[in-house]
Amino acid sequence: MEIDLLTVESARTAVLEKQTSANALVDAFYKKIEAEDKAIGAYLTLCKERAYSQAARIDALADKGDDLPPLAGVPIAIKDVFTTKDVRTTAGSKILEHFVAPYDATVVARLEDAGAIILGKTNCDEFAMGSSNENSGFYPVHNPVDHSRVPGGSSGGSAATVAAGTAVASLGSDTGGSIRQPAAFCGVVGLMPTYGRVSRYGLIAFASSLDHPGPFGKTVQDVAMMLQAIAGRDPLDSTTADVPVPNYREYIGRPVTGLKVGVPAEYFNEGLDAEVRASVEMGIQELKNAGAEIVPISLPHTPYAIPTYYVVATAEASSNLARYDGVRYGLRASEGKSLAEMYRRTRDAGFGAEVKRRIMLGTYVLSAGYYDAYYLKAQRVRSLLARDFDEAFAKVDVIVTPTTPTPAFKLGEKADDPLAMYLADIFTVTADLVGVPGISIPCGKSEEGLPIGMQILGKHFDEATLLQVAHVAEHALAGKATS
């Protein structure tokens, strides 16, 4: 079996039609991981016992001749920010190096209920803070397309497993672009669902009002099938919305005739790499050729998105990360003389430089005298960003932009300049702040052969239209690449 080419659907069909067994698939993927992942570093932990026991369950179902659940036998990888019962869960941080989660995240449980096989936990920037995966507390991830380049972040490991073929699909989380940006850099599809579409229960919190779980896959259909399994309200996360979940597969293959596609001028400014611009303009032209109406729009507050994000996200992070104090989660530095000293020593030893920087910034903007000037100010600008999108979506069905201003950069290139690194997320952060869904699909390559991503943003809870448009673009662009 040629496992590199497997999609969610073909993996399931292969098991259903007995071309292979789930057990044999798991064997083949672990063999590939052992041979190839050392050079990439996408996995932090493999959970073989769990994978083989799930494979046995699927093979038993297949032997009975029962119809199989929708993701049956599909080998997947999970970003290490989602808790997995009895499996080490680190969030990419030394402070959780030996943490073994006592329960499964809702998304993990739902993927396994749908028949997926979890091969392991993927590397990421520490607590999902970063755009290059260089902030992992363990080791960086290398882009499978070019090992000297970053895979993007923070879900770089999850994107890399799909790009390298060491998992069929994977799960990541997006707080400022952490699914879409690595998807663009690695040449795969990455979907950030609407805030409230997918449960955050068991997602180790970075910034609670911005954290979105979502899937990676080789194709738009693959992420649609993954989304189907994880979407919907969860009594364990009160911010999941009571909005019906449509059958996303029904939207795959529908034409885009008559749909209005907004193109915001602010995303095509002078900071945009020329090759990225040309590729995304070609993608937009393909949508036009397919019958969509292209509508120039404006999202005027776009230049304020990054500063807004770095106030809101760090403020929430400084609060969320207060729980790592050496009492409950594994790491405790040598006993200090007092409780406060034990806290400080543990946090100093356990957190990396970027996490400390964000905790400090977040604590500063929330501190007495600065709360109104920074935190409240940023929340007001967040309203203005939402207003931009409300006005745009009154006129158009989806918005199309580049996912990133440049293709993947080199390891080390931005590691010493936090502000330059933050600007890698300039086209993705706004959707997190506003809560609208977004997808990145491969859209051509640079002259050096590096993948370029096109981002499509949709209305709240309208992932269906997003997937419909993305699928049309994906097929038009694939035809172009081979012709």
Partner 1 sequence: MVTEKDVSYVADLAHLDLTAEERARMLKDLNSILDYIDRLNQLDTSNVEPMAQVASRYGERKDQADGFSYAMRSDELQSCLPRDEAMRNAPVSDGTFFKVPKVIER
Residue 333's Cβ-count burial label (10 Å; 0-12, 13-18, 19+) is middle
Q: Among 23, 308, 404, 455, which residue sits at the site for partner 1 (rule: CB under 8 A)?
A: 308
Q: How far is the CB of 383 from partner 1 (least distance, A)?
A: 4
Q: Is 481 in the site for partner 1 (CB under 8 A)?
A: no
Q: Is 307 in the site for partner 1 (CB under 8 A)?
A: yes
Q: Other CB atoms closer than 10 Å to residue 307's CB: what's the count?
A: 15
308, amino acid identity:
T
Secondary structure letter of residue 273 according to DSSP: -
Place of tokens 């406060």: 340
Judged by CB under 8 A, the number of residues near partner 1 is: 80
Q: Is 254 in the site for partner 1 (CB under 8 A)?
A: no
Q: Is 435 in the site for partner 1 (CB under 8 A)?
A: yes
* 202 to 231: interface string for partner 1, x by CB under 8 A: -------x----------------------
Catalytic annotation present for 154: yes
| Spatial distance between the Cα atoms of 173 and 195, rounded to a whole number of angstroms | 11
Catalytic annotation present for 79: yes
Nearer to partner 1, 5 or 360 (CB): 360
Peptide bond into 318 cis (omega under 30): no
Q: Is 341 in the site for partner 1 (CB under 8 A)?
A: yes
**Near partner 1 in 344-383, by CB under 8 A:** 344-345, 347-348, 351, 353, 356-357, 359-361, 363-364, 367, 374, 376-383
Q: Other CB atoms closer than 10 Å to residue 311's CB: what's the count?
A: 24
In Å, how far from its chain's centre is CA 19?
32
Sign of CA dihedral 181, 183, 186, 189: negative
Q: How far is the CB of 208 from partner 1 (least distance, A)?
A: 9
Q: Is 479 in the site for partner 1 (CB under 8 A)?
A: no
| Spatial distance between the Cα atoms of 399 and 452, rounded to a whole number of angstroms | 17
| Spatial distance between the Cα atoms of 317 and 364, rounded to a whole number of angstroms | 12
Nearer to partner 1, 240 or 404 (CB): 240
Nearer to partner 1, 60 or 353 (CB): 353
Short-list 442, 435, 144, 444, CA closest to 312: 435
Q: Is 248 in the site for partner 1 (CB under 8 A)?
A: no
| Spatial distance between the Cα atoms of 453 and 181, rounded to a whole number of angstroms | 8
Q: What is the largest CA-CA distance in the chain?
A: 71
Tell me how many degrees the CA angle 389-391-397 measures, rounded to the nearest 5. 70
Q: How far is the CB of 359 from partner 1 (least distance, A)?
A: 5
Q: Is 269 in the site for partner 1 (CB under 8 A)?
A: no
Q: Among 63, 335, 391, 448, which residue sits at the site for partner 1 (rule: CB under 8 A)?
A: 335
Q: Is 475 in the site for partner 1 (CB under 8 A)?
A: no
Nearer to partner 1, 30 or 99 (CB): 99
Q: Among 288, 306, 413, 445, which residue sits at the site for partner 1 (rule: CB under 8 A)?
A: 306
**Near partner 1 in 403-432, by CB under 8 A:** 418-419, 422
**Near partner 1 in 64-103, by CB under 8 A:** 98-100, 102-103
Q: How far is the CB of 428 from partner 1 (least distance, A)?
A: 16
5, amino acid identity:
L
Catalytic annotation present for 53: no
The beta strands (E) that lie in 339-483 are given as 398-402, 438-445, 451-458
Instruction: Check: CB of residue 14 under 8 Å from CB of residue 73.
Output: yes
Q: Among 35, 339, 478, 481, which residue sits at the site for partner 1 (rule: CB under 8 A)?
A: 339
Strand 260-264 relative to strand 293-297: parallel, antiparallel, unpaired? parallel
| Spatial distance between the Cα atoms of 157 and 232, rounded to a whole number of angstroms | 26
Nearer to partner 1, 106 or 401 (CB): 106
Strand 43-46 relative to strand 117-122: parallel, antiparallel, unpaired? antiparallel
Q: How far is the CB of 168 from partner 1 (least distance, A)?
A: 30
Return the range that interacts with partner 1 (CB under 8 A); candidates 105-113, 151-159, 265-273, 454-462: 454-462
**Near partner 1 in 115-154, by CB under 8 A:** none
Nearer to partner 1, 168 or 305 (CB): 305
* Catalytic positions, written as ranges: 79, 154, 178
